Amino acid sequence: MENSKVSLLSINKLLLVAGTGWLFDAMDVGLLSFILAALKQDWGLSPAQLGWIGSVNSIGMAVGAFVFGIYADQKGRKSAFLFTLLMFSIASGLSAFAWGLGSLLVLRFFIGMGLGGELPVASTLVSESVAPEVRGRVVVLLESFWAVGWVLAALIAYFLIPLPAVGWRGAMIICAAPAFYALYLRFSLPDSPTYIQLNSDAKKDSILNKVQSLLSTKFRRQTLMLWIVWFCVVFSYYGMFLWLPSVMMMKGFGMVKSFEYILLMTLAQLPGYFTVAWLIERVGRKWVLVTYLLGTLISAYLFGVSDSANQLLFFGALLSFFNLGAWGAMYAYTPEQYTTNIRATGSGMAASIGRIGGILGPLMVGLLMANNVSISTIFGLFSLSILVAIISIVFLGYETKQTELK
């Protein structure tokens, strides 16, 4: 099994093909955080309205993760990967022509569906295509493409969005590029060898049976742990990072200067991923995830209480380092909790529960800001959310390092 996986598709090609799709996803999410700051100026939107833009994106991601996770177990990982990539690419391009808040919210929903479906499917595809002794490292390196996408988003925001000829609309047109990449993928990406070898009877399980299996005695503990962790991590991530440019502006920095600082903070994501990729096959998934979430907790609190430019930059960089490193470990850990016939369904359901947190996080920030709640208090709440995730992993999580996927 292990040799056949490596011979079917080299690790480098697998990372390039799946990772580039992941990069485009990150570029869209990253640009959204900068676009919120631009829309506040262009359309005069309130914090609560801006919160809805971020939240409707997560509503779409919740629906997409659930629907396409099941679809990937029924029809294959490749088909789901291509369909979701095309969906979010086309919707991203169309959102450049949004004429008001209502039309933008509709398009952000479909962008979210594509994003939410593609991410767990891609991690499942990669998990099933490489040998156990390198699986965790490869999935984390796949996640590292997210940082590259965020860096590109920050560069576009810093250099292009402030230009009157480009603005946020031009930035959204750039996000339509993955549609052309998806057409290329159709001819170059094989499906998961583990999925292909799955007994055909297993693929015919009803959707209801697949969902019920997640809550069966065999998988109940893993499912509960994943749902708690995904909810808390996504709640805090989208609440903090979608509002980061706006928070910087509220702390007294102009839009361009805020974008510059976020670009520098974003660069810290890459070493976060790479250190996790090095540690995850040595220390294991469980304790690497706990350690990086603990770093996220501390960094989030300290960022919230910071007021000087140097403090904000330093603790913001630490927040990017630890939080995105934790995401890499979480994506490696999640597919390993389930068997092949329900792996994409289980990963998609966990991501879908997480996206509910992604809906509530940005909304909470907008509502609290509208009621003059301090940034330090808001980031303190996100730190408490991360603490709940840590406790659930410590008491409910199993170590899955280098186990064979069945």
Find out whether 337 and 400 touch, Cβ atoms under 8 Å.
yes
Residue 200 has pLDDT above 60, yes or no: no
- The whole-angstrom separation of Cα 236 and Cα 295 is 13
- The whole-angstrom separation of Cα 135 and Cα 291 is 20
Which segment, 52-61, 63-72, 247-256, is predicted with the most confidence on average?
A: 63-72
If one compares 364 and 381, the residue with the highest pLDDT of the two is 381
Q: 390 falls in which pLDDT band (50, 70, 90)? A: very high
Q: Where are the domains of the chain?
A: 2-183+211-396
Residue 170 CB: number of other CB atoms within 10 A? 14
Torsion of CA 70, 73, 75, 78, to 10 degrees: 100
Residue 46 backbone zone (phi > 0: left; psi -120 to 50: alpha; other: beta) = beta
Q: Percent of the chain having pLDDT more than 90?
A: 37
Cα-to-chain-centroid distance, residue 357: 12
Residue 201 has pLDDT above 60, yes or no: no
Amino acid letter, 126: V
Of 244, 171, 223, give the one whose Cα is nearest residue 342. 223
Domain range 2-183+211-396, CATH class: mainly alpha
Q: 374-387 b/e with 16+ CB inside 10 Å = b?
A: ebeebbebbbebbe
Question: Average pLDDT in the 393-399 region?
Answer: 95
Supply the pLDDT for residue 149.
Answer: 86
If one compares 132 and 351, the residue with the highest pLDDT of the two is 351
353-373, pLDDT tens digit by residue? Answer: 998 998 888 888 888 988 888
Supply the pLDDT for residue 199.
Answer: 55
Q: 284-303 b/e with 16+ CB inside 10 Å = b?
A: bbbbbbbbbbebbbebbbbb
Supply the pLDDT for residue 67.
Answer: 94
Supply the pLDDT for residue 187.
Answer: 66
Please report where in the chains the tokens 């398009």 appear, as a residue: 107
Question: Average pLDDT in the 5-19 region?
Answer: 68
Supply the pLDDT for residue 8.
Answer: 44
If one compares 395 and 88, the residue with the highest pLDDT of the two is 395
Number of residues that make up the chain:
406
Supply the pLDDT for residue 1.
Answer: 42
Supply the pLDDT for residue 291.
Answer: 98
Q: 2 falls in which pLDDT band (50, 70, 90)? A: very low
Residue 159 has pLDDT above 90, yes or no: no
3-state secondary structure of 166: coil
Phi, psi (rounded to 5 degrees) for 322: -75, -40
Residue 366 CB: number of other CB atoms within 10 A? 26
Question: Average pLDDT in the 196-213 region?
Answer: 71
Residue 62 has pLDDT above 60, yes or no: yes
Residue 253 has pLDDT above 80, yes or no: no
Find out whether 95 and 120 touch, Cβ atoms under 8 Å.
no
Q: Mean pLDDT in the chain?
A: 86
Residue 333 has pLDDT above 90, yes or no: yes
Which pTM does this prediction carry? 0.84
